[in-house]
Amino acid sequence: MSQLNLKPDPIVLGVQAVVFLVNMFIVKKLMLEPYLTVRSRRDAQTGGSQDAAQKLQHEAEALESKITERMRAAHKDAAQVRETIKKEALDKRATLLTKAESEAKSEQVKIETAIATNLKEERARQDETIKSISDQFFAQVIQ
């Protein structure tokens, strides 16, 4: 039977170590270093883009909160202006109504006075008219 020789051959071991080191150097120079360079550039660009995106996101949120606050303030100011204008309009309306009522009452008094005066005049002439009609009637009946 043959025996298995488990002792390493130093020459073969040395050649294999040299071949491994040469292959490792080739793989490192041709594949690993360019890959790591591209990856580091991509990470830098991606990380920079992500940082810029986060910065822009924070700026947008800050601007949104400013705009929201301004809108609230504008809404509040508009409500105050609206209330002021409404109050002024109601006051003006009340003034105009009071003035119109006083003018209407004054005109009513004038008209009532004119009617009373006309009524007195007509009543005063009534006796004359009745007498004149009676005289004419009497004159026609007697003739």
pLDDT digit string (tens) for 5-42? Answer: 778 888 989 999 999 999 999 999 999 999 999 998 88
**CA 13 – CA 21 distance, rounded (Å):** 12
**What confidence tens digit (pLDDT) does each residue in 62-103 have?**
999 999 999 999 999 999 999 999 999 999 999 999 999 999
Of 80-84, 111-115, 120-124, which gets the smallest average pLDDT? 120-124
- For residue 59, the Cα-to-chain-centroid distance in whole angstroms is 21
Tokens 């040469």 label which residue?
22
Token representation of residue 51 = 């940082």
Alpha helices in the chain, H assignment, sequence order: 10-27, 33-142
Q: Is the pTM of this model over 0.75?
A: no
**CA 53 – CA 35 distance, rounded (Å):** 26
